[in-house]
Structure 1
Amino acid sequence: MTEQKDEHIIEAVGRCRIVIQNGEVVDVGDAKISSCPLTRKFAHPVSTPDKESVKANIEYRIKKWGMCTPHREVIETREFVGFGASEILSFGLSAGMLDAVVLACDGAGTLIATTPALVQGIGGRMSGLVRTVPYEDVIRRIEEAGGVVIDTESATLDQSAGIARAYELGYSKVAVTVAVPEEAKTIRHQYPDAFIFGVHVTGLDHDEARMLVDASDFVTSCASATIREAAGEMALVQAGVGVPTFAITPTAKDILLEKIRRSNAQVLIRTTKLPVISEEQPDPLV
Structure 2
Amino acid sequence: MSEHIIEALGKSRITIKDGKVIDVTEPEVEYCPLFDHHRGIKKLTKEVIEKNIQFRIDDFGMCTPERQLRMKDFLSFGISEIMCTLLDENAIDSVVMVLEGCGTIIVTEPELVQGIGGRVSGLVKTSPIPELIPEIGKENIVNPETAEINQIEGIKLAISKGFKNIAVTITLAEDADGIEKLREENPDVNIYVFVVHTTKKTAEEARKLFDICDVTTGCSSKHIREIGEKESIKTVGQSIPIFAHTEDGKKFLEMRLDRIGGEKPKKDNPDLPYPLI
User: What TM-score, normalized by structure 1, do the two folds share?
Assistant: 0.90
* Residue equivalent to 1:208: 205
With 64-73 and 44-53 compared, the bigger mean Cα shift is at 44-53
**Matches for 1:131-280 after TM superposition, within 5 Å:** 131-143=125-137, 148-191=140-183, 193-265=190-262, 267=264, 278-280=269-271
1:144-178 deviations in whole A, cap 9, x for unaligned?
Answer: 9xx81211101000000001000110000000000
1:53-82 deviations in whole A, cap 9, x for unaligned?
Answer: 000000000001100111111101133x72
**What residue identity is the alignment partner of 1:106?**
E
Secondary structure of residue in 1 paired with 2:33: coil
Distance 2:261 2:119 in 1: 24
% same residue: 37
Cα offset, 1:184, TM superposition: 2.6
Change (3 A) 1:87 1:140: same
For the Cα contact (< 8 Å) 1:238–1:244, is it kept in 2? yes
Distance 1:229 1:140 in 2: 42
Cα offset, 1:277, TM superposition: 8.9
Q: Work out the number of aligned pairs and report it.
A: 272
**What residue identity is the alignment partner of 2:275?**
P
For the Cα contact (< 8 Å) 2:2–2:129, is it kept in 1? no
Q: Does 2:96 correspond to 1:116?
A: no
Distance 1:103 1:208 in 2: 20
* Residue equivalent to 1:284: 275
Distance 1:156 1:278 in 2: 42
**Matches for 1:98-113 after TM superposition, within 5 Å:** 98-113=92-107
Cα offset, 1:119, TM superposition: 0.4
For the Cα contact (< 8 Å) 2:31–2:44, is it kept in 1? yes
1:20 to 16, 19, 22: 16
For the Cα contact (< 8 Å) 1:184–1:196, is it kept in 2? no
**What residue identity is the alignment partner of 1:163?**
I
User: What TM-score, normalized by structure 2, do the two folds share?
Assistant: 0.93
For the Cα contact (< 8 Å) 1:188–1:194, is it kept in 2? no
Secondary structure of residue in 2 paired with 1:191: helix
2:124 to 119, 130, 141: 130
Secondary structure of residue in 2 paired with 1:38: helix
Cα offset, 1:39, TM superposition: 1.4
Distance 2:168 2:30 in 1: 30
Unaligned ranges ≥5, structure 1: 270-275
* Residue equivalent to 1:89: 83
Distance 1:137 1:13 in 2: 28
Distance 1:21 1:126 in 2: 16
Cα offset, 1:278, TM superposition: 4.5
**What residue identity is the alignment partner of 2:233?**
L
Distance 2:40 2:89 in 1: 32
Secondary structure of residue in 1 paired with 2:220: coil
**What residue identity is the alignment partner of 2:156?**
A
1:226-276 deviations in whole A, cap 9, x for unaligned?
Answer: 00011222211101000000011000111111222233356559xxxxxx9
**What residue identity is the alignment partner of 2:169?**
T
For the Cα contact (< 8 Å) 1:46–1:57, is it kept in 2? no
Secondary structure of residue in 1 paired with 2:174: helix
User: What value does the CA root-mean-square deviation take over the aligned residues?
Assistant: 1.9
Unaligned ranges ≥5, structure 2: 185-189
Secondary structure of residue in 2 paired with 1:25: strand
Distance 1:154 1:105 in 2: 13
* Residue equivalent to 2:187: none
